Each structure stands twice: as C-alpha cells, then as structure tokens.
Amino acid sequence: MTEVTRIEWTEALKTSHAGLDNQHKELLAMVNELGEAIQQGQGAAAIKRIFACALAYADWHFRYEEELAAKYQCPIAERNLREHEAFRRLIAKFEQEYKAARTAELSGQGSSDAVEALAVNFHKQLTDWTVSHIAVVDKQIGEYVSAVTADKAKAATAC
C-alpha cells in the first residue's frame, strides 16, 4: 500500500480571512481525496477526475482571491498571480503526462503501475504547492486584507 501525506488544517494555513479559509478547505479536501484513493490503490482512477476539479477550483477560487488582492492593493498580489499560473501549468503538465501514460497502457506499451506512479507524483507536487502557497502567499493576503478592513472599521467608529 502506498503511504501518502494527508494535509491537515492547521494554524499555519489560516489566513485571518474566513472566506479564503473556507475556500482553501475545499482544495485540501480535493487533494486529500486523491491521497486516499492512492492509498487504496485507486490513484489512476481518481487522477482524471481531479484534473477537471482542480481547474474548476482555480477558475473559482483564484479569481475571488486575485480580485480581493487587487481591491486592497496587497503587496504580494503579483507573486500570487505567478504562483496561480504555476498551479495551472502543473495541472496541464500532469494531464498531458496522464494521457500519454494511458495511451501507452492501452496500447500495451505502458502499464497500470506507471499511471499509478504518475498519480503519486502528481499528489505529492499538488500537496507541496498547496501547503507552501497557502502558508506563505495566501496567508499574507488574508492578513493584509483583515488589517486594512479592521483599520477602516476603527476609523469609522472613531468619527
């Protein structure tokens, strides 16, 4: 059985922004679902579904977060955009590799083990991106937005 790392929701991933935190939990659930499938030897079957879900998630969550960062002129907004692009490239790269591996498997040139190994590698890279991006970049966005909105609230009540 393949042992995979599960991403736990910890203090390190909290951004001080409830909306972002709730959306990030959805990404964690998606990555962990793939991890569970891999543990059960079902990674190859799960990976295909995850590609579509990951891209849909990117369209939904990244747009929300990028608009938020732009609205409050977060200093880290540019880096956030670049890392989001890297996420999309990661998905596209693995989707291509998956198609090639499946074609090889079906033609007798490859194997189901190769597709399963691809799922393990994809899960690892997805986990690394998710943890490091949220803990570093998104956290700064959430904290910045919370600080700005708290200051505005304070100024409004002082008048």
Give the residues lining the site for Fe ion (CB under 5 A). Answer: 65, 80, 138
| CB neighbour list of residue 108: distance below 8 Å, 6 or more residues apart | none
Work out whether the CA dihedral 143, 145, 151, 153 comes out positive or negative.
negative
Element (H, E) at 34: helix 18-39
How near is the Cβ of 109 to Fe ion at its closest, in Å? 39
In this complex, which beta carbon is closest to Fe ion, that of residue 120 or of residue 137?
137
**Burial class for 74, CB neighbours closer than 10 Å (0-12, 13-18, 19+):** buried
In this complex, which beta carbon is closest to Fe ion, that of residue 90 or of residue 117?
90
In this complex, which beta carbon is closest to Fe ion, that of residue 65 or of residue 116?
65
How near is the Cβ of 32 to Fe ion at its closest, in Å? 16
**Of 129, 123, 130, the residue nearest 5 (C-alpha):** 123
In this complex, which beta carbon is closest to Fe ion, that of residue 86 or of residue 153?
86
How near is the Cβ of 93 to Fe ion at its closest, in Å? 19
How near is the Cβ of 10 to Fe ion at its closest, in Å? 16
Of all residues in this chain, which one has the CB nearest to Fe ion in the complex? 138
How near is the Cβ of 27 to Fe ion at its closest, in Å? 7
| CB neighbour list of residue 64: distance below 8 Å, 6 or more residues apart | 19, 23
Calpha distance 65→131 (Å, rounded): 16
In this complex, which beta carbon is closest to Fe ion, that of residue 80 or of residue 127?
80
